[in-house]
Amino acid sequence: MKKNMVWWFLIVIVVVGILVFITINSKRVDYSNSKIAGEEQNNMQNAQQIEGVKIIILKEGNGDIAKSGDTVAMNYTGKLADGTIFDSNVDPKFNHVQPFVFTIGAGQVIRGWDVGIAGMKVGEGRILEINPDYAYGEAGAGGVIPPNATISFEVELLQIEK
């Protein structure tokens, strides 16, 4: 009798284990062949962290490399973490559809731009994910960017003046 109970107990344990295994594995979805997964994987391979800026290369450039002291012309779109666009020079609704020009390292832009633009090649496209300490910090900006906000910019380097 005791021997039968032990066997039944072992059978129940094995069956429960099999059911748990099947349940866990049946909820997995294979996205490895999807276009989105491939793009995300490529973007993550092209991502790097420099100080308070995560840089994701969207498109390789083939021109000169921007460095501190260079004056650069950029296209950009700025977004909050929830995807809300707060500024852009490529969207006519923001009323300034021309390249944005500044000098890297001269304090003319937020620190995240100085860090994230240096090293770009002409024609290169990047996403800059900028933490609050490299953006607008505790103050936020103009009622548009909240305090302590992580923001992102999709940028393209159009031209460098050395």
Active-site residue, 86 included? yes
Please identify which of the residues 55, 104, 136, 151 carries the catalytic annotation: 136
Active-site residue, 57 included? no
User: In a 3-state reduction of DSSP, which class is residue 47?
Assistant: strand
Active-site residue, 133 included? no
Please identify which of the residues 57, 87, 130, 134 carries the catalytic annotation: 87
Active-site residue, 136 included? yes
CB 90 within 8 A of CB 121: no
Active-site residue, 153 included? yes
Other residues' Cβ atoms within 10 Å of the Cβ of residue 26: 8
Active-site residue, 134 included? no
Please identify which of the residues 57, 117, 134, 153 carries the catalytic annotation: 153
Beta-strand relationship, 85-88 and 71-80: antiparallel
Backbone angles phi, psi at 117, to 5 degrees: -90, -35
Query: How far is residue 148's CA from residue 40's CA, in Å, rounded to a whole number?
Result: 26
Please identify which of the residues 50, 86, 102, 133 carries the catalytic annotation: 86
Please identify which of the residues 57, 76, 127, 145 carries the catalytic annotation: 76
Token pair 């260079």 in the structure block, residue? 70
List the catalytic residues.
76, 86-87, 110, 136, 153
